[in-house]
Amino acid sequence: MVRLSMVLGALVLTGCASGVRVPPPIIDGTQNAGEQDRIRSSQSQPATSVAKPSAVATKPVASQTQPVQVAKIESQPVVEQPSTTPISEPVLELLETADQQASGGNNDAAMATLERALRLAPREPEIYYQMGRLRLEMGQASESEQLALKAVDLAPDSFVRRDSWNLVALARERAGNIEGAKAARAKARGL
């Protein structure tokens, strides 16, 4: 009995898998239908044995096509909206742990914790901002600037962007780029 059900199941699956796939037709409403696209009149169709009541007179319908009205859609610029999803709980815990480690003077452990958070949420601007702030404290101004600029790119709102531009300004000041720091502060004020 089990063997019979297995054989029947295999036959059903084989029948489903071996079907010929026909792609759906592509309909383009911008052109009128050609003769080959029109529905043929009833005389050209194969005869079927369907009985029709004799009391009803049937007339062949003249095949007329109506042009399709196509609505014009104005193209508008696509504005990419950054993700505004909240930070996940595990990432928040890692950010808090990194903050505690940095407050305790253990910057290397804090950076490792932030890198773990980055693996969990690679598009989270807060992680890049915190890594940039930590790099600045460690005396690595160039790395700090790059991380802060990444936070600017990913920032979902003007508040995060402003804080990140201010970090860019601090990093540029530490690197001796006073004009670059002024430009970054101007961008922060403009938000």
On whether the CB atoms of residues 32 and 67 are closer than 8 A, the answer is yes
Nearest to 147 by CA among 130, 166, 169: 130
Q: Please give the chain's pLDDT, 191 residues, in tens.
A: 666 666 666 655 655 555 556 565 565 555 665 666 555 554 444 544 555 555 555 555 555 667 666 656 665 555 445 456 789 999 999 999 999 999 999 999 999 999 999 999 999 999 999 999 999 999 999 999 999 999 999 999 999 999 999 999 999 999 999 999 999 999 999 98
pTM: 0.57
Tokens of 110: 């804090």
What is the per-residue pLDDT for 92? 96
Tokens of 60: 């062949």
Q: What is the DSSP string of 83-121?
A: P-PPPPHHHHHHHHHHHHHHHTT-HHHHHHHHHHHHHH-
Write down all domains in the chain, each with its CATH number in brackets: 89-189 (1.25.40.10)
C-alpha distances out from residue 123 to 56, 104, 155, 173, Å: 70, 27, 9, 27
d(CA 184, CA 41): 74
Q: Each residue of 23-47: b (16+ CB within 10 Å) or e?
A: eeeeeeeeeeeeeeeeeeeeeeeee
